[in-house]
Structure 1
Amino acid sequence: MTRSFAFAFAVFALISTGALAQDAADATPVPTTMEEVEAAYRSQDFVTARAGLRHLAETEPAGNVMYRYARILLDPRAGPVDAPAAAIWLERAVEADYTPANTLLARVFLSGGDVERDPEHAAQLLQDSATRGDQEAQYYLALLYEAGDGVAQSERDAFVWYRAAAEQGHVEAAYSLSRAYSRGAGTELDTDKALHWLERSAGDGHVDAQFFLANALETGKGARQNRNEALNWYRRAAEGGHILSMRIIGTKYLQGEGVYQDNDAAMTWLTKAAEGGEPGALYNLGVIYGTGQIVERDDAKAMSYFESAADTGLLRAIGMQAAFLEAGRGAEADLSRAVGLYQTAAQEGHVPSQAALVRLAVGGDLDGLTTPHDMVALVAAAATDGDEAALKWLERASEAGVGPATTALGALLLNDTARADEGVALITKAARQGNASAQFQLGEAFSTGVGVAQDYEAAHMWLNLSAAQGHRQAGQSRDVLTDLMTPEQIRAAQTAAREFQPETPAGGVDQ
């Protein structure tokens, strides 16, 4: 069965079974002329317009009529959306050589849902319309080439069709063309042309273009720096619904950056951005209510905003949520939950959360909430930066048999001339107990002669033992050292490594 015959048969089946119901009350007269349909459109009586277009499509099946009927079948204002029926009428309009039908039918095939997705057929339809100058078809065809959807991926073809559509005034295509020039995708990188098309799409109301133009003007990257003009574009983007621009404008009013400080305007824009779920705006409002700097302090509101921002993964919001829980602000104090949040943020590199955990650890407030092993790396980093309380914590943990603490303390003291011998002793103790990190540290010390007399054989042995436990850097250092050693030294070091037996920690403490 040919596609044309199949669609014609489907139309007959739909009509005969009543599947194309009019969706209008029987008492409402059905328009029988295009003038009556237009009148229904003007009065926003889309249900009546749909009934009239159905009548005209069935009795006067011209390409433009079938196309308009298909469009209204896809319009929820006119009744239940019927994509399969729309596809049938669009196919008939395509066969009647009505070019706009190609583009709309292609979009139906790309959308999926009630009509099986068919990007290959969509690409063929778009190619036909694009070559006839249809800017919508040119834009969607460019999208397919950029994604390699239904066609072989081609940045060059995508660029060509974006340019064709943009030159006809297609706003989205102009923005995409700007991006292509800025990245050199499918064409030579050209910042001047990128800026030209960015300005053109921004001027035509494309909010993303307005935002990026504002950013370029503010930073001077991609355009001559002009902060006043940048502010204007941020404002236009914000007024057009661009959520990040709302937050930026609100923050500028809050801080008086490039504008007179205006707390009311700041709250207006930040609230709008927060309602759109913008993480930075949620966080900023949390700070505002938590500090009471321009509104009455409200810890409950602050906590609510921090929680919402934290749910987006914003690390500083997670840290503030933890701080409020620790202090019992805006919610009942919950140190266990606070510690969990601090750990989540700290693992992603949030420095204030790392500092909070160190503070709690050295103060003895983490007992029962975390293990000493979990805190060694953070406390050791603080001790390296000169935190005496952190150093004392490492000493206590080492004395308690926490192997990683012994290794960290030893490495720290090794770089302290006055306590280098003590550092070597600690690292040696941990290395002999089988700690891979300590074995690496000791191997490095023997290799460089830092804190101990230089000894390539001892260095090779310890590095070899560490590498055998999976310490990648140890293996690399051992291989470099091997090139400096004689065959006899290498054999001796390998024999020592084979004969090594780790010592059991005093008291059997897990290292």
Structure 2
Amino acid sequence: MRKRFAMLMVTMPLVSTLLAVAACLFAPLSAHADIAPEVRASAEAGDAESQLRLGLALLYGTDGLAMDQDAGITWLKKSAAQGNGDAQFYLGDMSSDQADKFRWFELSAKQGNPLGQFGLAEQLIFITAAMTRYYPDAVEGLDLLQKSAAQDNPQAAYLLGDIYSQNLPSPAIQIAKLDVAKAREWYAKALALGWPEAQDRIDALKGKANSDFEPKDDIETVWSESPTLHELSRQRAEVVKAMREGRSSAQ
């Protein structure tokens, strides 16, 4: 499992305004040996894993192949059509269409794929929960992150650390109550899984407790203290859901 994540170069979500959305870019770190002829033959024969490998090699110009993004996407779609969760994730990640992105992430996540779980969690947390303050989406996003981290996704563990230390870049609202102990645990897991940036976070929390920080507004507290806003938040979340599904909110 760790090999899968070692192949990926990731950037953390950047949120520049209250309505900005997170972006996550994954790409192979380096080329491997030239792709074997039998891999292409296997892909052409319909093997989903071979189609995934060939698609990524063409997409990024690795494994001795010239970059051909159109061909790469074609092979990824062939793999995804057979239920390959990694291929579904990559198609979602590279899509510029929000509805398409969400759809691919959701398909991948439903299969228990850790990359798809992470991608869908970001959509739920940064696009719906933080913007609409609809708490159920935050709960679902946190659950997906924990499932992804449980499958040794270091970025999911790192993001959970940021969530519980209230260190998210979004100025809108934090996703969980401040919990330094939990944050420390998640950062430690991310570091153990090979995410070196977690060390700085661990050092910053050394000897610290919740009382050493001023808690920020979090969605759970706002939700519990403002029941009159539940319906408005739900309506806003429905609008966002309609947009990401590519349909009118009036439908």
TM-score (norm 2): 0.59
Indicate conservation of the 8 Å contact 1:123/1:141, yes or no.
yes
AA partner of residue 141 (structure 1): L
What's the counterpart of residue 179 of structure 2?
226
AA partner of residue 82 (structure 1): D
What's the counterpart of residue 122 of structure 2?
179
Indicate yes or no: 2:82 matched with 1:126: no
Distance 1:225 1:122 in 2: 43
Change (3 A) 1:227 1:157: same
Distance 1:144 1:251 in 2: 34
Q: Deviations over 1:389-440 (max 9, x none)?
A: xxxxxxxxxxxxxxxxxxxxxxxxxxxxxxxxxxxxxxxxxxxxxxxxxxxx
Indicate conservation of the 8 Å contact 2:117/2:148, yes or no.
yes
Distance 2:31 2:183 in 1: 38
Q: Deviations over 1:91-126 (max 9, x none)?
A: 322332223221111011012153111111111111
Structure with more contact order per residue of length (Cα contacts < 8 Å, sep ≥ 6): 2
What's the counterpart of residue 109 of structure 1?
58
| Structure showing the higher helix proportion among its residues | 1
SS class of match (1:215)? helix
Structure 2 unmatched ranges of 5 or more: 1-29, 167-172, 211-251
AA partner of residue 175 (structure 2): G
Once the two structures are TM-superposed, the CA of residue 75 in structure 1 deviates from its matched residue by 9.6
Residue 46 (structure 2) aligned to one of 97, 119, 122: 97
Indicate conservation of the 8 Å contact 2:43/2:51, yes or no.
yes
AA partner of residue 208 (structure 1): Q
Residue 162 (structure 1) aligned to one of 80, 95, 105: 105
Once the two structures are TM-superposed, the CA of residue 179 in structure 1 deviates from its matched residue by 0.9
AA partner of residue 168 (structure 1): Q
Indicate conservation of the 8 Å contact 1:159/1:177, yes or no.
yes
Distance 1:221 1:243 in 2: 24
Once the two structures are TM-superposed, the CA of residue 192 in structure 1 deviates from its matched residue by 2.4
The within-5 A match list for 1:227-376 is: 227-253=180-206, 256-258=207-209
Distance 1:143 1:196 in 2: 20
When the two chains are superposed, the root-mean-square deviation of aligned CA atoms in Å is 2.7
Once the two structures are TM-superposed, the CA of residue 222 in structure 1 deviates from its matched residue by 0.3
Distance 1:166 1:211 in 2: 19
Structure 1 unmatched ranges of 5 or more: 1-73, 146-152, 260-511
AA partner of residue 223 (structure 1): A
Once the two structures are TM-superposed, the CA of residue 249 in structure 1 deviates from its matched residue by 1.8
SS class of match (1:242)? coil
Indicate conservation of the 8 Å contact 1:123/1:144, yes or no.
no
Change (3 A) 1:247 1:95: closer
Change (3 A) 1:111 1:227: same
Distance 1:75 1:230 in 2: 34
Structure index of larger Rg: 1
Distance 2:120 2:51 in 1: 23
Distance 1:218 1:143 in 2: 26
Indicate conservation of the 8 Å contact 1:111/1:117, yes or no.
yes
Residue 213 (structure 1) aligned to one of 146, 160, 168: 160
Indicate conservation of the 8 Å contact 2:180/2:208, yes or no.
no
Distance 2:184 2:140 in 1: 22
Change (3 A) 1:91 1:248: closer
Distance 2:193 2:49 in 1: 29
AA partner of residue 66 (structure 2): E
Indicate conservation of the 8 Å contact 2:59/2:73, yes or no.
no
AA partner of residue 203 (structure 1): A
AA partner of residue 187 (structure 2): Y
Indicate yes or no: 2:144 matched with 1:192: no
Percent identity of the aligned residues?
23
Change (3 A) 1:75 1:211: closer
What's the counterpart of residue 247 of structure 2?
none
Q: Deviations over 1:136-173 (max 9, x none)?
A: 2211221232xxxxxxx312111111111112121122
Once the two structures are TM-superposed, the CA of residue 246 in structure 1 deviates from its matched residue by 0.9
Tell me the matched-pair count.
Answer: 168
